[in-house]
């Protein structure tokens, strides 16, 4: 599963997800209402519900898109989440 999170709280969500063992790619960008952070998290399908709950717990107002990739190569895909 690929989660794309757009957060209005740059610098807050990505480190917390990393602390829980997730591989996170993040960058800051400009949105309609100011600075945002775009966060990508790729996890095994079996961990999807846990990741959804983590994101909801950290900031319920974040915009989240969950995609199911058909192919990917390289990168970091963890087996367990803390």
| CATH number of the CATH domain containing 52 | 3.30.70.120
CA atoms within 13 A on the CB side of 82: 8
Task: Check: pTM over 0.95? Answer yes or no.
Answer: no
Is residue 78 in a domain? no
Question: Which tokens in the block code for residue 27?
Answer: 């960058």
Total tally of structural domains belonging to the chain: 1
Domain that holds residue 28: 2-67
Provide mean pLDDT across the span 20-24: 90
Quick one: 55 exposed, middle or buried, by C-beta within 10 A (0-12, 13-18, 19+)?
A: buried
Q: Which pLDDT does position 81 carry in this prediction?
A: 63
Report the alpha-carbon distance of residue 3 to residue 77 in Å, rounded: 13
Per-residue pLDDT, averaged over 4-26, amounts to 93
> Is position 82 within any domain?
no
Q: What mean pLDDT do residues 61-73 have?
A: 89
- Residue 77 resides in a domain: no
Do the domain assignments include residue 25?
yes
Arithmetic mean of pLDDT over the chain: 89
DSSP assignments along 44-56, one per residue: -GGGHHHHHHHHH
> Is residue 63 domain-resident?
yes
Count other C-beta atoms under 10 Å from residue 58's C-beta: 17
């Amino acid at each position: 599963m690929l989660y794309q999170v757009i957060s209005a709280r740059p610098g807050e969500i990505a480190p917390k997800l990393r602390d829980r063992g997730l591989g996170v790619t993040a960058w800051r960008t400009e949105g309609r209402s100011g600075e945002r952070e775009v966060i990508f998290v790729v996890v095994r399908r079996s961990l999807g519900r846990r990741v959804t709950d983590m994101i909801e717990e950290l900031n319920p107002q974040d915009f989240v898109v969950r995609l199911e990739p058909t192919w990917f190569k390289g990168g970091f895909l963890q087996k367990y989440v803390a």
